[in-house]
Amino acid sequence: MRACVPLIVALLCSLAWAEDPKEPEPFLELEGETEEAPAANLYSAPDSCRGRCLEAFDKHHQCHCNARCRDFGNCCEDFESLCDHEGFSHSSDAITKEELQSISEKIYRADTNKARKEDIIINSQNCISPSETRDQVDHCPEPLFSYVNEELFSKPTYTAFINLLNNYQRATGRGEHFSAQQLAEQDAFLREVTKTAVMKELYSFLRDQNRYSSEQEFVNDLKNMWFGLYSRGNDKGDSSGFEHVFSGEVKKGKVTGFHNWIRFYMQEKEGLVDYYSHIYDGPWDSYPDVLAMQFNWDGYYKEVGSAFIGSSPEFEFALYSLCFIARPGKVCQLSLGGYPLAIQTYTWDKSTYGNGKKYIATAYVVSSTQ
Protein backbone atom coordinates (compact mmCIF):
# COMPACT_ATOMS: atom_id res chain seq x y z
CA MET A 1 0.00 0.00 0.00
CA ARG A 2 1.09 3.58 -0.51
CA ALA A 3 0.14 7.06 0.59
CA CYS A 4 -2.14 8.76 -1.97
CA VAL A 5 -1.20 12.06 -0.36
CA PRO A 6 1.42 12.48 2.34
CA LEU A 7 -0.33 12.33 5.67
CA ILE A 8 1.67 15.35 6.69
CA VAL A 9 -0.62 17.50 4.51
CA ALA A 10 -3.82 15.82 5.65
CA LEU A 11 -4.67 18.58 8.08
CA LEU A 12 -8.29 18.13 9.03
CA CYS A 13 -8.44 19.53 12.50
CA SER A 14 -5.46 20.91 14.39
CA LEU A 15 -1.82 20.36 15.18
CA ALA A 16 -1.23 17.65 17.75
CA TRP A 17 1.48 18.83 20.12
CA ALA A 18 4.56 16.76 20.65
CA GLU A 19 5.65 15.49 24.02
CA ASP A 20 7.32 18.74 25.06
CA PRO A 21 4.71 21.53 24.69
CA LYS A 22 7.51 23.97 23.91
CA GLU A 23 8.55 22.03 20.82
CA PRO A 24 5.66 21.26 18.48
CA GLU A 25 6.35 18.60 15.89
CA PRO A 26 4.42 18.10 12.65
CA PHE A 27 2.02 15.38 13.72
CA LEU A 28 -1.46 16.13 12.49
CA GLU A 29 -4.75 14.86 13.75
CA LEU A 30 -6.90 12.95 11.33
CA GLU A 31 -10.13 13.72 13.09
CA GLY A 32 -11.70 15.90 15.72
CA GLU A 33 -13.04 13.53 18.31
CA THR A 34 -12.14 15.30 21.51
CA GLU A 35 -14.91 16.02 23.92
CA GLU A 36 -15.58 19.54 25.08
CA ALA A 37 -12.90 20.70 27.49
CA PRO A 38 -14.08 20.11 31.03
CA ALA A 39 -15.06 23.21 32.96
CA ALA A 40 -12.84 24.22 35.84
CA ASN A 41 -15.59 23.49 38.33
CA LEU A 42 -15.46 19.78 37.47
CA TYR A 43 -12.52 19.54 39.84
CA SER A 44 -12.84 19.87 43.57
CA ALA A 45 -10.37 22.75 43.46
CA PRO A 46 -8.24 24.33 40.71
CA ASP A 47 -5.12 23.83 42.84
CA SER A 48 -5.70 20.09 43.42
CA CYS A 49 -4.71 16.93 41.52
CA ARG A 50 -7.95 15.17 42.43
CA GLY A 51 -9.24 13.64 39.19
CA ARG A 52 -6.31 15.10 37.23
CA CYS A 53 -3.41 12.65 37.69
CA LEU A 54 -1.35 12.28 34.49
CA GLU A 55 -3.46 14.76 32.52
CA ALA A 56 -1.97 16.57 29.53
CA PHE A 57 -0.27 19.92 30.16
CA ASP A 58 -2.71 22.85 30.16
CA LYS A 59 -1.25 26.32 30.56
CA HIS A 60 -4.54 27.59 32.00
CA HIS A 61 -4.23 25.46 35.16
CA GLN A 62 -2.83 27.05 38.30
CA CYS A 63 -0.75 23.96 39.02
CA HIS A 64 -0.11 20.68 37.25
CA CYS A 65 -0.35 16.92 37.73
CA ASN A 66 1.47 15.53 34.70
CA ALA A 67 4.55 13.33 34.59
CA ARG A 68 6.92 16.29 34.21
CA CYS A 69 5.53 18.76 36.72
CA ARG A 70 8.40 17.99 39.11
CA ASP A 71 10.91 18.90 36.43
CA PHE A 72 9.29 22.33 36.05
CA GLY A 73 8.45 22.81 39.74
CA ASN A 74 4.75 23.41 39.10
CA CYS A 75 3.04 20.38 40.69
CA CYS A 76 -0.05 20.86 42.83
CA GLU A 77 0.56 20.46 46.56
CA ASP A 78 -1.32 17.15 46.71
CA PHE A 79 0.48 15.67 43.68
CA GLU A 80 2.61 13.27 45.71
CA SER A 81 -0.27 11.96 47.83
CA LEU A 82 -2.68 11.51 44.91
CA CYS A 83 -0.50 10.74 41.90
CA ASP A 84 2.98 9.70 42.96
CA HIS A 85 1.96 6.12 43.76
CA GLU A 86 1.07 5.51 40.13
CA GLY A 87 4.72 5.37 39.13
CA PHE A 88 4.47 7.97 36.37
CA SER A 89 5.77 10.93 38.30
CA HIS A 90 9.48 10.26 38.66
CA SER A 91 11.59 11.61 35.84
CA SER A 92 13.81 8.53 36.23
CA ASP A 93 10.75 6.40 35.37
CA ALA A 94 9.77 8.43 32.30
CA ILE A 95 9.40 6.39 29.13
CA THR A 96 11.49 7.88 26.34
CA LYS A 97 10.59 8.19 22.69
CA GLU A 98 13.35 5.71 21.85
CA GLU A 99 11.94 3.18 24.31
CA LEU A 100 8.48 3.56 22.81
CA GLN A 101 9.86 2.97 19.34
CA SER A 102 11.78 -0.08 20.52
CA ILE A 103 8.85 -1.74 22.31
CA SER A 104 6.47 -0.98 19.44
CA GLU A 105 8.84 -2.77 17.05
CA LYS A 106 8.91 -5.76 19.41
CA ILE A 107 5.11 -5.79 19.54
CA TYR A 108 5.00 -5.52 15.75
CA ARG A 109 7.28 -8.55 15.36
CA ALA A 110 5.36 -10.51 18.00
CA ASP A 111 2.01 -10.22 16.19
CA THR A 112 1.89 -13.73 14.76
CA ASN A 113 -1.92 -13.63 14.61
CA LYS A 114 -2.00 -10.81 12.06
CA ALA A 115 -3.37 -11.38 8.58
CA ARG A 116 -1.03 -12.64 5.87
CA LYS A 117 -0.97 -10.76 2.57
CA GLU A 118 -3.18 -13.41 0.95
CA ASP A 119 -5.74 -13.26 3.79
CA ILE A 120 -7.12 -9.84 2.84
CA ILE A 121 -7.70 -8.11 -0.49
CA ILE A 122 -8.40 -4.38 -0.19
CA ASN A 123 -10.06 -2.34 -2.92
CA SER A 124 -9.21 1.18 -1.76
CA GLN A 125 -10.36 2.79 -5.06
CA ASN A 126 -10.55 6.60 -5.07
CA CYS A 127 -8.30 8.79 -2.99
CA ILE A 128 -9.65 12.28 -2.30
CA SER A 129 -8.01 15.43 -1.01
CA PRO A 130 -8.43 16.46 2.64
CA SER A 131 -10.55 19.43 1.53
CA GLU A 132 -13.18 17.03 0.16
CA THR A 133 -13.79 14.96 3.27
CA ARG A 134 -16.77 17.04 4.40
CA ASP A 135 -18.60 16.68 1.10
CA GLN A 136 -20.10 13.28 2.01
CA VAL A 137 -19.81 12.06 -1.57
CA ASP A 138 -19.51 8.34 -2.29
CA HIS A 139 -16.51 8.10 -4.61
CA CYS A 140 -16.19 4.31 -4.39
CA PRO A 141 -18.84 2.09 -5.98
CA GLU A 142 -17.31 -1.11 -4.62
CA PRO A 143 -16.83 -2.30 -1.02
CA LEU A 144 -13.49 -1.70 0.68
CA PHE A 145 -12.95 -5.39 1.39
CA SER A 146 -12.93 -7.60 -1.70
CA TYR A 147 -11.91 -10.65 0.30
CA VAL A 148 -11.17 -11.62 3.89
CA ASN A 149 -10.12 -15.10 4.94
CA GLU A 150 -12.61 -15.60 7.75
CA GLU A 151 -10.57 -18.45 9.17
CA LEU A 152 -8.76 -15.64 10.97
CA PHE A 153 -11.87 -15.13 13.07
CA SER A 154 -11.64 -18.63 14.52
CA LYS A 155 -8.45 -17.71 16.37
CA PRO A 156 -9.16 -17.28 20.10
CA THR A 157 -8.42 -13.56 20.36
CA TYR A 158 -10.48 -12.76 17.24
CA THR A 159 -13.42 -14.83 18.50
CA ALA A 160 -13.30 -13.19 21.93
CA PHE A 161 -13.05 -9.75 20.34
CA ILE A 162 -15.97 -10.29 17.94
CA ASN A 163 -18.14 -11.50 20.82
CA LEU A 164 -17.83 -8.04 22.39
CA LEU A 165 -18.83 -5.95 19.39
CA ASN A 166 -22.59 -6.39 19.65
CA ASN A 167 -22.77 -5.71 23.38
CA TYR A 168 -23.22 -1.96 22.94
CA GLN A 169 -25.82 0.59 21.91
CA ARG A 170 -24.12 2.89 19.46
CA ALA A 171 -26.09 6.04 20.34
CA THR A 172 -24.56 8.01 23.18
CA GLY A 173 -27.03 9.04 25.83
CA ARG A 174 -28.35 5.51 26.24
CA GLY A 175 -26.96 3.72 29.26
CA GLU A 176 -25.14 0.44 28.80
CA HIS A 177 -26.40 -2.45 30.94
CA PHE A 178 -24.40 -5.66 30.67
CA SER A 179 -25.68 -9.15 31.33
CA ALA A 180 -23.59 -11.67 33.26
CA GLN A 181 -22.64 -13.27 29.95
CA GLN A 182 -21.50 -9.95 28.47
CA LEU A 183 -19.37 -9.23 31.53
CA ALA A 184 -17.89 -12.71 31.21
CA GLU A 185 -17.07 -11.93 27.56
CA GLN A 186 -15.01 -8.93 28.69
CA ASP A 187 -13.02 -11.17 31.02
CA ALA A 188 -12.65 -13.80 28.30
CA PHE A 189 -11.22 -11.22 25.90
CA LEU A 190 -8.70 -10.01 28.46
CA ARG A 191 -7.78 -13.57 29.32
CA GLU A 192 -7.17 -14.49 25.67
CA VAL A 193 -5.17 -11.41 24.71
CA THR A 194 -2.93 -11.61 27.76
CA LYS A 195 -1.90 -15.12 26.67
CA THR A 196 -0.38 -13.75 23.48
CA ALA A 197 3.24 -12.84 22.84
CA VAL A 198 2.12 -9.32 21.95
CA MET A 199 0.63 -8.60 25.37
CA LYS A 200 3.42 -10.43 27.17
CA GLU A 201 5.88 -8.05 25.50
CA LEU A 202 3.79 -5.08 26.63
CA TYR A 203 3.45 -6.28 30.21
CA SER A 204 7.15 -7.09 30.52
CA PHE A 205 8.02 -3.62 29.27
CA LEU A 206 5.60 -1.83 31.61
CA ARG A 207 6.70 -3.93 34.58
CA ASP A 208 10.32 -2.98 33.90
CA GLN A 209 9.19 0.64 33.72
CA ASN A 210 7.67 0.39 37.22
CA ARG A 211 4.12 0.80 35.95
CA TYR A 212 2.84 -2.51 37.33
CA SER A 213 4.13 -4.92 39.95
CA SER A 214 2.06 -7.94 38.87
CA GLU A 215 0.24 -9.22 35.82
CA GLN A 216 -3.04 -9.21 37.75
CA GLU A 217 -2.62 -5.53 38.54
CA PHE A 218 -1.98 -4.92 34.85
CA VAL A 219 -5.08 -6.85 33.75
CA ASN A 220 -7.28 -5.14 36.34
CA ASP A 221 -6.13 -1.74 35.14
CA LEU A 222 -6.77 -2.67 31.50
CA LYS A 223 -10.30 -3.73 32.42
CA ASN A 224 -10.99 -0.45 34.17
CA MET A 225 -9.46 1.89 31.60
CA TRP A 226 -11.05 0.13 28.61
CA PHE A 227 -14.34 -1.29 29.89
CA GLY A 228 -15.21 1.05 32.74
CA LEU A 229 -18.37 3.01 31.91
CA TYR A 230 -18.72 6.78 31.92
CA SER A 231 -21.21 9.26 30.47
CA ARG A 232 -20.75 11.01 27.12
CA GLY A 233 -24.45 11.84 26.91
CA ASN A 234 -27.34 12.36 29.28
CA ASP A 235 -27.65 8.83 30.61
CA LYS A 236 -25.30 7.46 33.24
CA GLY A 237 -22.73 4.97 31.98
CA ASP A 238 -23.41 5.19 28.24
CA SER A 239 -19.86 4.79 26.93
CA SER A 240 -16.44 3.23 27.41
CA GLY A 241 -13.07 3.35 25.72
CA PHE A 242 -13.56 -0.07 24.15
CA GLU A 243 -17.00 0.77 22.80
CA HIS A 244 -15.83 4.05 21.33
CA VAL A 245 -12.55 2.93 19.75
CA PHE A 246 -13.43 -0.55 18.52
CA SER A 247 -17.22 -0.77 18.17
CA GLY A 248 -18.05 2.84 17.31
CA GLU A 249 -20.62 5.34 18.52
CA VAL A 250 -22.98 7.95 17.14
CA LYS A 251 -23.10 11.35 18.84
CA LYS A 252 -24.88 14.47 17.62
CA GLY A 253 -25.58 12.85 14.27
CA LYS A 254 -21.98 11.86 13.54
CA VAL A 255 -19.96 8.67 13.81
CA THR A 256 -17.29 8.86 16.51
CA GLY A 257 -14.62 6.28 17.20
CA PHE A 258 -15.00 3.14 15.04
CA HIS A 259 -11.30 2.50 14.40
CA ASN A 260 -11.27 -1.24 13.81
CA TRP A 261 -10.99 -3.13 10.54
CA ILE A 262 -12.78 -6.25 11.77
CA ARG A 263 -15.79 -4.23 12.86
CA PHE A 264 -15.73 -2.37 9.54
CA TYR A 265 -15.56 -5.58 7.51
CA MET A 266 -18.39 -7.25 9.40
CA GLN A 267 -20.64 -4.19 9.17
CA GLU A 268 -19.82 -3.75 5.48
CA LYS A 269 -20.63 -7.40 4.84
CA GLU A 270 -24.05 -6.86 6.46
CA GLY A 271 -24.70 -3.83 4.26
CA LEU A 272 -24.52 -1.39 7.17
CA VAL A 273 -21.27 0.34 6.16
CA ASP A 274 -20.81 2.10 2.81
CA TYR A 275 -17.18 2.92 2.04
CA TYR A 276 -16.89 6.37 0.38
CA SER A 277 -13.18 7.16 -0.12
CA HIS A 278 -9.81 7.46 1.59
CA ILE A 279 -7.21 10.19 2.05
CA TYR A 280 -4.30 8.04 3.15
CA ASP A 281 -3.02 4.55 2.44
CA GLY A 282 0.02 3.58 4.50
CA PRO A 283 3.52 2.64 3.35
CA TRP A 284 3.55 -0.94 4.63
CA ASP A 285 3.62 -3.67 1.97
CA SER A 286 2.20 -6.28 4.35
CA TYR A 287 -0.26 -6.31 7.20
CA PRO A 288 -0.86 -4.51 9.44
CA ASP A 289 -1.26 -1.39 7.35
CA VAL A 290 -3.09 1.89 8.01
CA LEU A 291 -5.96 3.45 6.06
CA ALA A 292 -7.64 6.81 6.70
CA MET A 293 -11.10 6.73 5.16
CA GLN A 294 -14.57 8.20 4.83
CA PHE A 295 -17.70 6.10 5.18
CA ASN A 296 -21.39 6.01 6.03
CA TRP A 297 -22.49 3.82 8.91
CA ASP A 298 -26.16 3.03 8.52
CA GLY A 299 -27.13 6.65 7.91
CA TYR A 300 -24.35 8.45 9.77
CA TYR A 301 -21.16 9.84 8.24
CA LYS A 302 -17.56 9.48 9.36
CA GLU A 303 -15.49 12.32 7.97
CA VAL A 304 -12.11 10.73 8.61
CA GLY A 305 -11.52 7.47 10.42
CA SER A 306 -8.08 5.95 10.70
CA ALA A 307 -7.72 2.21 11.23
CA PHE A 308 -5.11 -0.50 11.21
CA ILE A 309 -5.87 -3.08 8.51
CA GLY A 310 -5.06 -6.75 9.02
CA SER A 311 -3.78 -6.46 12.58
CA SER A 312 -4.78 -8.87 15.31
CA PRO A 313 -7.06 -7.59 18.11
CA GLU A 314 -4.24 -7.93 20.61
CA PHE A 315 -1.91 -5.80 18.46
CA GLU A 316 -4.25 -2.81 18.40
CA PHE A 317 -5.20 -3.28 22.03
CA ALA A 318 -1.53 -3.37 23.01
CA LEU A 319 -0.45 -0.29 21.04
CA TYR A 320 -3.38 1.85 22.17
CA SER A 321 -2.86 0.73 25.77
CA LEU A 322 0.86 1.43 25.56
CA CYS A 323 0.27 4.94 24.31
CA PHE A 324 -2.47 5.68 26.82
CA ILE A 325 -0.29 4.54 29.70
CA ALA A 326 2.93 6.18 28.47
CA ARG A 327 1.52 9.33 26.85
CA PRO A 328 -2.02 9.91 28.17
CA GLY A 329 -3.68 12.70 26.24
CA LYS A 330 -0.68 13.19 23.98
CA VAL A 331 0.84 12.10 20.70
CA CYS A 332 2.77 8.85 21.09
CA GLN A 333 5.59 8.28 18.61
CA LEU A 334 6.13 4.65 17.62
CA SER A 335 7.90 2.62 14.95
CA LEU A 336 6.43 -0.31 13.02
CA GLY A 337 8.56 -2.24 10.58
CA GLY A 338 10.95 0.67 10.29
CA TYR A 339 8.24 3.23 9.53
CA PRO A 340 7.30 5.95 12.02
CA LEU A 341 3.73 6.03 13.28
CA ALA A 342 2.01 8.23 15.82
CA ILE A 343 -1.06 7.50 17.94
CA GLN A 344 -3.12 10.12 19.73
CA THR A 345 -4.97 9.23 22.91
CA TYR A 346 -7.36 11.32 24.97
CA THR A 347 -8.30 10.87 28.60
CA TRP A 348 -11.85 11.07 29.89
CA ASP A 349 -11.61 13.92 32.38
CA LYS A 350 -15.12 14.01 33.82
CA SER A 351 -14.88 10.89 35.96
CA THR A 352 -12.14 8.63 37.27
CA TYR A 353 -11.49 5.21 38.78
CA GLY A 354 -9.13 4.15 41.52
CA ASN A 355 -7.15 7.04 42.94
CA GLY A 356 -7.78 9.54 40.18
CA LYS A 357 -6.94 7.35 37.19
CA LYS A 358 -8.50 8.35 33.88
CA TYR A 359 -10.55 6.25 31.50
CA ILE A 360 -9.70 6.09 27.80
CA ALA A 361 -11.81 8.54 25.82
CA THR A 362 -10.36 7.65 22.44
CA ALA A 363 -7.23 6.42 20.67
CA TYR A 364 -6.37 6.41 16.98
CA VAL A 365 -3.56 6.75 14.47
CA VAL A 366 -2.82 10.37 13.63
CA SER A 367 0.22 10.24 11.41
CA SER A 368 2.72 8.20 9.51
CA THR A 369 5.39 9.30 7.07
CA GLN A 370 7.41 7.37 4.55
Give catalytic residue positions.
Answer: 244, 259, 302
| Other CB atoms within 10 Å distance of the CB of residue 208 | 11
Backbone φ, ψ for residue 38 (5° rounding): -65, 140
* Kind plus residue range of the DSSP H or E element containing 77: none
Yes or no: say if 252 and 246 are a contact pair by the CB < 8 Å rule.
Answer: no
Q: How far is CA 253 from the centre of its chain?
A: 21
Closest CA to 336 of 297, 295, 292, 285: 285
d(CA 348, CA 362): 8
CA distances from 202 to 5, 64, 111, 193 (A): 32, 28, 12, 11
Query: CB neighbours of 345 closer than 8 A, spacing ≥ 6?
Result: 320, 323, 324, 327, 328, 329, 330, 332, 360, 361, 362, 363
CB neighbour burial string for 26-37, b if at least 16 within 10 angstroms, e if fewer: ebbbbbebeeee
Query: CB neighbours of 4 closer than 8 A, spacing ≥ 6?
Result: 127, 278, 279, 280, 281
CA distances from 308 to 77, 96, 208, 339 (A): 41, 24, 28, 14
Query: CB neighbours of 208 closer than 8 A, spacing ≥ 6?
Result: none
